[in-house]
């Protein structure tokens, strides 16, 4: 066993250990089934689903169902969690609907995209290595656990309160983020579908306001979910509010923006128009075209 394999397996164990920690915190105050917190079952299922599909994906050396599996995992564990509750309140139903709507839309979009492309080049080396591919699927289990933690903790909380103004605010925030992500994805898909744009980068629509408006929308919608969840979280379960923080860290520092920025720099970095686009367009938070340029000129 070489060093890379050891690191991969260590990464798997670490990802599972973090998931156990989240399960322990989120399970405090959770409804129980045979003395087992329902929140624990949800987290365990998030990992188990990834590992089951991983076996099939590795045998086929295919990454085509990776993103789709992630989306279906959100839907499955959230829906089953609600069905397992001894009593279902409005907050649980609202959170279920928001997660299902988001996951269905994004999962369909990502699956359609990879089927059109034929493959995801990020997986070219990973999918032929058992340990690397296993780590990738395990990390998706951790990703689902982290991002859905606040929603799942609120759904399974024994403390139940009627929806109030905070839920309305959370819903508005979620809806804003959802539609920003939806519009950004639609605009980029339409851009790529136009043969005249072959080899070009998008800089129109929301993409003239931000270089990654879809990620901005993703972050905002999970903040909305956390706002809805907050009123019923108590004690250690408050740690599940790390959900939007994790999304921010993941997308801005780890696998989202950094990877795409490097890829774009390799492809268009020597072009003056791309350098101008980078200079005048914020990385994440949208700013009306021209406003950011005016600030820099000052």
* Alpha carbon 220 to chain centroid, angstroms: 11
pLDDT at 121: 79
What rounded mean pLDDT belongs to the chain? 94
pLDDT digits 0-9 by tens, 173-203:
999 999 999 999 999 999 999 999 999 999 9
Residue 59 clears pLDDT 80, i.e. is over it: yes
Q: What is the pTM of this model?
A: 0.93
- 3-25 mean pLDDT: 95
CA 12 – CA 47 distance, rounded (Å): 11
- How far apart CA 227 and CA 241 sit, in angstroms, is 9
In the chain, % of residues over pLDDT 70: 97
* Contact call for residues 162 and 246 (beta carbons, < 8 A): no
| Mean pLDDT of the region 24-46 | 96
What DSSP designation does 250 have?
Answer: I
pLDDT digits (tens, 9 = 90+) for 137-185: 999 999 999 999 999 999 999 999 999 999 999 999 999 999 999 999 9
How far are the Cα atoms of 251, 254, 255 from residue 142, in angstroms, in the given order? 14, 14, 14
pLDDT in tens, 210-244: 999 999 999 999 999 999 999 999 999 999 999 99
Residue 144: closest CA among 27, 252, 48: 48
In this prediction, residue 170 carries a pLDDT of 98
CA distance 197 to 260: 18
**Residue 280 predicted with pLDDT over 80:** yes
Q: In angstroms, rounded to a whole number, what is the distance separating the alpha carbons of residues 269 and 262?
A: 9
What pLDDT is recorded for position 122? 79
Q: How far is CA 152 from CA 107, 155, 206, 207, 230, in A?
A: 19, 5, 31, 33, 11
Q: Check pLDDT > 90 for residue 255.
A: no
Summarize pLDDT for 109-134 with one digit per residue, the tens. 989 988 887 787 778 889 999 999 99
């Amino acid at each position: 066993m070489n060093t890379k394999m050891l690191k991969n397996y260590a990464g798997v164990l670490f990802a599972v250990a973090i998931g156990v920690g989240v399960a322990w915190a989120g399970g405090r105050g959770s409804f129980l089934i045979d003395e087992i917190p329902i929140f624990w079952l949800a987290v365990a299922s998030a990992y188990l689903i990834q590992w089951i599909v991983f076996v099939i994906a590795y045998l086929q050396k295919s990454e085509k169902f990776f993103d789709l599996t992630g989306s279906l995992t959100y839907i499955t564990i959230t829906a089953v969690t609600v069905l397992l509750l001894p009593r279902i309140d409005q907050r649980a139903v609202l959170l279920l609907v928001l997660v299902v709507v988001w996951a269905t839309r994004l999962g369909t979009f990502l699956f359609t995209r990879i089927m059109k492309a034929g493959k995801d080049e990020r997986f070219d080396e990973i999918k032929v290595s058992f340990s690397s591919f296993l780590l990738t699927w395990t990390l998706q289990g951790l990703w689902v656990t982290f991002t859905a933690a606040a929603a799942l903790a609120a759904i399974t909380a024994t403390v139940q309160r009627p929806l109030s103004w905070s839920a309305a605010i959370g819903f508005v925030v979620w809806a804003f983020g959802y539609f920003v992500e939806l519009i950004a994805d639609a605009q980029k898909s339409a851009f790529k579908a136009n043969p005249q744009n072959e080899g070009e980068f998008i800089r129109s629509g929301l993409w003239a306001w931000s270089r990654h408006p879809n990620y901005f929308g993703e972050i905002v919608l999970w903040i909305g979910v956390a706002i809805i969840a907050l009123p019923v979280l108590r004690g250690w379960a408050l740690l599940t509010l790390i959900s939007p923080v994790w999304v921010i860290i993941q997308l801005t520092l780890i696998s989202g923006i950094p990877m795409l920025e490097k890829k774009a720099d390799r492809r268009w970095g020597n072009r003056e128009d791309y350098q101008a686009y980078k200079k005048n367009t914020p990385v994440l938070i949208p700013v009306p075209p021209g406003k950011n340029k005016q600030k820099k000129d000052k």
